[in-house]
């Protein structure tokens, strides 16, 4: 069974940093692109960032570019999101999601499996 378990969410002050992790199991992690998608309280879904299976390519939303960095450790079957210069508008549940193929970016086939999410609250 494919499982994605996020962790690392917390209450952090504006300007602070946080690193989210997503532990994957039940599939060959290095063979699939992975993504982060977030959802602010009571709002819709927003794509944050994606990374290819080999970590050779990565893409991010303009709203987080320069502040968030997606990475992965295929030896540990773990996806990361390093978040810096956090703002109140980054407050959301952050989901990691498995894609259907190795490549990330344009032309992919959707987010096949999602984790349960981890809450990030940015507030003073």
Partner 1 sequence: IHMAQSPASLPASVGDRVTITCRASQSINKYLHWYQQKPGKAPKLLIYAASSLHAGVPSRFSGGGSGTDFTLTISSLQPEDFATYYCQQSYITPFTFGGGTKVEIK
Any idea what the Cα angle at residue 104 is, between residues 43 and 81, rounded to 5°? 55
Complex with partner 1: residue 8 or 16, whichever CB lies closer: 8
- Contacts with partner 1 by CB under 8 A lie at 37, 44-47, 50, 59, 61-62, 95, 100, 105-117
Least distance in angstroms from the C-beta of 5 to partner 1: 11
> In angstroms, rounded to a whole number, what is the distance separating the alpha carbons of residues 94 and 38?
4
Any idea what the Cα angle at residue 40 is, between residues 37 and 45, rounded to 5°? 40
Least distance in angstroms from the C-beta of 78 to partner 1: 18
Complex with partner 1: residue 53 or 115, whichever CB lies closer: 115
For residue 81, the cross-strand partners are 20, 70
Complex with partner 1: residue 16 or 54, whichever CB lies closer: 54
Backbone torsions φ then ψ of 89, nearest 5 degrees: -75, -5
Complex with partner 1: residue 38 or 72, whichever CB lies closer: 38
Least distance in angstroms from the C-beta of 95 to partner 1: 6
Least distance in angstroms from the C-beta of 42 to partner 1: 11
> In angstroms, rounded to a whole number, what is the distance separating the alpha carbons of residues 37 and 17?
18
């Amino acid at each position: 069974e494919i499982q994605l378990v996020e962790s690392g969410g917390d209450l952090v002050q504006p300007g602070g940093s946080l690193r989210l992790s997503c532990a994957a199991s039940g599939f060959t992690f290095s063979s699939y692109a992975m993504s982060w998608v977030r959802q602010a309280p009571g709002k819709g879904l927003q794509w944050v960032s994606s990374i290819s299976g080999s970590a050779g390519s990565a893409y991010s939303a303009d709203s987080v570019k320069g502040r968030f960095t997606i990475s992965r450790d295929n030896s540990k079957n773990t996806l990361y999101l390093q978040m810096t210069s956090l703002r109140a508008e980054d407050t959301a549940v952050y989901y990691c999601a498995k894609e259907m193929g190795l490549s990330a970016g344009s032309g992919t086939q959707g987010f096949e499996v999602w984790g349960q999410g981890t809450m990030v609250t940015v507030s003073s």
